[in-house]
Amino acid sequence: MDAAERRPQGWQAARRTLANYISLTKPRVIELLLVTTIPTMILAEGGFPSIGLMLATLVGGGAAAGAANSFNCYLDRDIDEVMNRTKRRPLVTGEITPRAALVFSWVLAIISLAWLALLVNVASAALTAVAVLLYVVGYTMILKRRTPQNIVWGGAAGCMPVLIGWSAVTGRVSWAAVLLFGVIFFWTPPHYWPLSMKFRRDYAAANVPMLPVVAADTKVARQMIAYTIAMIACSLLLMPVAGMTWVYGVAALVLGGWFLASCIGLYRRALDPTRGKLGAMKVFHGSITYLTLLSVAIAVDVFLPL
């Protein structure tokens, strides 16, 4: 086989390696985080921030989130090996070595923080560092394997993009940003627990005490309803605090009521299985739709002449 024949195989190997490193960053998770960052920056600015600032914030924040996810893959590789949902990740299959993954995680984290400090501001870089520590140390290393409330407190890391986006524009954090943080904080359990219901056997096999593993579906659903009510309250309080119009208020109320109804439906099916399948994944996908549409409502409301 001559060099010309070997070259495609080399390119294929390089592409495969690149794809494996990208998968460590969990890009689908990053997409959801960035969905909340852009509307937050628009609200903080009262219009569109500069394209340069938005791109710098999104690139830096996305890279930092990718680094945190990569650290998570490194630390949880023993769990991933047991769970059917994650057993094809590159650290499990051996396509990336633990040492290479750890080096990649550190390099990406350092570059992302330096990027934000230089191109955005120090406040955003500091908040990003807190987010990485919350996810890697607080959630992955301390909470995940020890308490059924792991996703509640560990999920605070996923709320940080709104604080980061707000500080990128203003250089500080305001009460409006805190309320946005609250929306995502209370949204996280009813978003993630349905997924845990779907894969409870995986989590049980890996000895990860997610709430749906150690508690009855009725208890999980009741807690989801409570968190959803708190989430709706935070979203509505944003109206007077951030000066939102009635259009946003209607959108927040309708979207919140719709998502609450889906959680109540999950509870009713848990109480009475004759009502049909539990429908946990429907609630999971609905939670993503809720957060996406609420974010759109926030961004659009800023430009309404009301």
Q: What is the mean pLDDT of residues 147-159?
A: 89
In contact, 154 and 138? CB cutoff 8 Å: yes
| pLDDT for the residue numbered 276 | 67
CA distance 166 to 287: 23
| pLDDT for the residue numbered 7 | 45
- pLDDT at residue 5 is higher than 80: no
Residue 134 φ/ψ, nearest 5 degrees: -60, -45
Radius of gyration of the chain (CA): 21
Rounded to 5°, the CA angle 52-56-57 comes to 120
**Residue 43: how many other CB atoms lie within 10 Å:** 27
3-state helix, strand, coil in the chain (%, to 5): 80, 0, 20
The token pair that represents 247 in the structure block: 């259009």
- Name all domains of the chain by residue range, CATH numbers in brackets: 13-170 (1.10.357.140), 174-306 (1.20.120)
| pLDDT for the residue numbered 186 | 97
DSSP helix/strand/coil, 148: coil
| pLDDT for the residue numbered 9 | 63
| pLDDT for the residue numbered 67 | 96
The pTM score is 0.91
| pLDDT for the residue numbered 230 | 98
Tell me the pLDDT of the chain averaged across its residues: 92
- pLDDT at residue 6 is higher than 50: no
CA distance 224 to 189: 7
- pLDDT at residue 156 is higher than 80: yes
pLDDT tens digit sequence for 207-221: 999 999 999 999 999
Residue among 220, 227, 218 at smallest CA distance from 196: 220
